[in-house]
Chain A
Amino acid sequence: MSTTALPVVAREETPFRRFVAEFAASRVALAALVLFVLIGLAAIFAPFIVPQNPYDLAQLDIMDGRLPPGSASAAGYTYILGTDDQGRDMFSGILYGLRISLGVGVGSALIACVFGTALGLFAAYAGGRTDAAIMRLVDLQLSFPSILVALMILAMLGKGVMNVVLALVIVEWAYYTRTVRASALVERRREYIEAAECLALPKHRIMFRHLLPNCLPPLIVIGTQQVARAIALEATLSFLGLGVPITEPSLGLLIANGYQYMLSGKYWISFYPGIALLVTIVAINLVGDQLRDVLNPRLQR
């Protein structure tokens, strides 16, 4: 360490710092990340931001129903995005809808990730018949389009936030399992796993402390994409009337509610929730694309 001569020590390059620098190389991806964080914060702190609680009936005024964007409310504030048929402020409705959409999307992706990753690691580590059986199930699951599987489950279980989450988890887990198994199969032939096995470490320790951290990069990429897919699928299911109940409207249900008014030119009831949905999904996808480019070992120099 002879760097004492230099007044400013160059920051040591850690893998994490390199990752951050590479991610930030794309301005679009950085902007998308900032946007996504802002959307997330807006959803979390929605009760402190919005002018009215859209589901407190006492605060709604039916006389304010279907007002175009920019109208003034009886209570004095402006409906910047207009109102729906119940006189509900669309801006407030959208932020509350975002809470449900993001909660369901992120929540189901996380549960599916934990479940799918565990199965994938187990399949790769156990090998043999266990591996074959699990992968057969994955193949079967992936041979049916996601919307059909979700439709099937919700046709059986009925509406409800928890049912939607369950349906999304069942749709998504196979992607994680396949991804983790593929990278775990490569990693488990490496020397460090051999070394860990020679140390007679318990199997679960090898699987979760040695194998898992090295399978993380592709998992992060798949996870981001799956969050976007889950949000889109939830919105689609809710639009079809199979998803969340009317008491907990997500963005998809807001769009469905405005559908009938769109044909008579009252576009804002459907249009703005749609824009919110769109911006959220595109932002997540852009972040995911950049993550894939940065984390893909094949593209690394």
Chain B
Amino acid sequence: MTTWLIRRLIQALFVVLAMSVIVFIGVHVIGNPVDILISPEADQAERARIIAALGLDQPLWKQYLLFVNDALHGNLGRSFVFNEPALLLIAQRMPATMELAVTAVLMSILFGIPLGLYAGLYPEGAVARTIMAGSILGFSLPTFWVGLMLIMVFAVQLGWLPSTGRGTTAELFGIQWSFLTLDGLRHLVLPALNLSLFNISLVLRLTRAGVRETLPMDFVKFARAKGLTPARVIFVHVLKNIMIPVVTVVGLELGSTIAFAVVTESVFAWPGMGKLIIDSINVLDRPVIVAYLMMIVLLFVTINLVVDLLYTVLDPRVRLEAKG
């Protein structure tokens, strides 16, 4: 187990390192930030001064070593546009993204499990068929398009909910949150629903499949034969057994929900780190792009490591395989 963990850690480290090289070289090959950042009217002396200040006169490998050294000290450069540390910018935007992603995951459980339960219990009914057809749409519709339609219907036509921004925020633990105020919650509903649609469909289908699989099993029949109420059989005996795969998948989906927040944030002008990266790519703000990509690589490598670890703890078969 320890050997496995060390090997896995070295692998993760290697991935992060390889990604840092790819990201660094990739980002430094496109565009010339000098042309973007320095006004055309600047004279030669001023140009040279700014280039030196940004470290753009060094050869690429020196810039990379400098970058790694700085990164290890928690410094991923200053944003060309905001003139603030890139890491700080991302850290400031991260709570908004996390708030959105976590709300979306919670919504997927809140809607997905009851709908899936119903579709699994009455698979032949018209309602169940509608639910399943809807879930196919949830899988195939592009997120951004659904977001636009949500804005069009609920914000423009009906005028029930606001279309953009976070609304009024309240402070908790030194961070601004939307879910603490009524106005913030109203702003949160549409983006979170948009982001959760894919996960709702996923949870719904998993739950339905689980219910269909579990219902004919002996322990369910036995619980019924014991004379337990149908509600108790379904909500305690059946639900408990299908929760394991559902929770696993939902946990795994948290990562890609954070990734797909890029799209939702852009549609709803939600000021999270996804919107920051899109804006930064459009103005070629290299330090922010590099910092974001490195943060996200680190985040995903960590998520994958934790998931692998949890599997090994939960499922002895994986452990045996890793040894062999």
- A interface, CB within 8 angstroms of B: 140, 143-145, 147-148, 151-158, 228, 232, 235-236, 239-242, 252, 255, 259, 262-263, 265, 267, 270-271, 274, 277-278, 281-282, 285, 289
Contact = CB atoms under 8 A, between A and B. Distances in A.
B27 A155 contact: yes
A143 B136 CA distance: 24
Given A145-B256, A262-B156, A156 B144 contact: no
Given A255-B148, A263-B155, A289-B136, 8 more contacts: A148-B262, A154-B281, A236-B143, A239-B263, A240-B278, A278-B140, A281-B140, A282-B140
The interface centre, meaning the residue of B31, B145, B260 with most chain A CB atoms within 10 A of its CB, is B145
The interface centre, meaning the residue of A152, A228, A281, A285 with most chain B CB atoms within 10 A of its CB, is A152
Nearest to B163: A263
Nearest to A259: B148
B165 interface: no
B151 interface: yes
Contacts of B142: 232, 235-236, 239, 252, 277, 281
Given A232-B142, A236-B144, A242-B281, A151 B31 contact: no
Given A236-B263, A270-B148, A282-B140, A152 B255 contact: no
A285 B263 contact: no
A271 B152 CA distance: 10
Contacts, number: 102
A239 B144 contact: yes
B263 A277 contact: no
A265 B156 contact: yes
Contact of B278 (A140, A242, A270, A289): A242
B255 A155 contact: no
Contact of B31 (A158, A228, A255, A262): A158
Contact of A262 (B15, B29, B152, B281): B152
B282 interface: yes
18 contacts: A152-B23, A152-B293, A153-B26, A154-B281, A156-B26, A156-B27, A232-B140, A236-B263, A239-B263, A240-B263, A241-B282, A262-B148, A263-B151, A263-B156, A267-B152, A270-B148, A274-B145, A277-B145
Contacts of B152: 262, 267, 270-271
Interface size class on chain B is 35 or more
B278 A278 contact: no
B259 A145 contact: yes
B137 interface: yes
A143 B300 contact: yes
B304 interface: yes
B277 interface: yes
Which 3 pairs show the lowest CB-CB distances between chains A and B? A156-B26, A145-B256, A145-B259
Contacts of A157: 26, 30
Contact of B260 (A145, A154, A267, A271): A145
A39 B247 CA distance: 40
Contact of A228 (B27, B140, B278): B140
Contacts of A255: 144-145, 148
B187 to A, nearest CB: 16
B211 interface: no
A274 B144 CA distance: 10
A118 to B, nearest CB: 23
B134 to A, nearest CB: 12
B140 A155 contact: no
Contacts of B139: 285
Contacts of B296: 148
Nearest to A154: B281
A262 B151 CA distance: 9
Given A144-B300, A274-B145, A155 B263 contact: no
A256 B179 CA distance: 29
B154 to A, nearest CB: 13
A125 B144 CA distance: 41
A154 B26 CA distance: 10
Nearest to A231: B142
A262 B155 CA distance: 11
Given A147-B260, A240-B263, A241-B282, A278 B27 contact: no
Contacts of B300: 143-144, 148
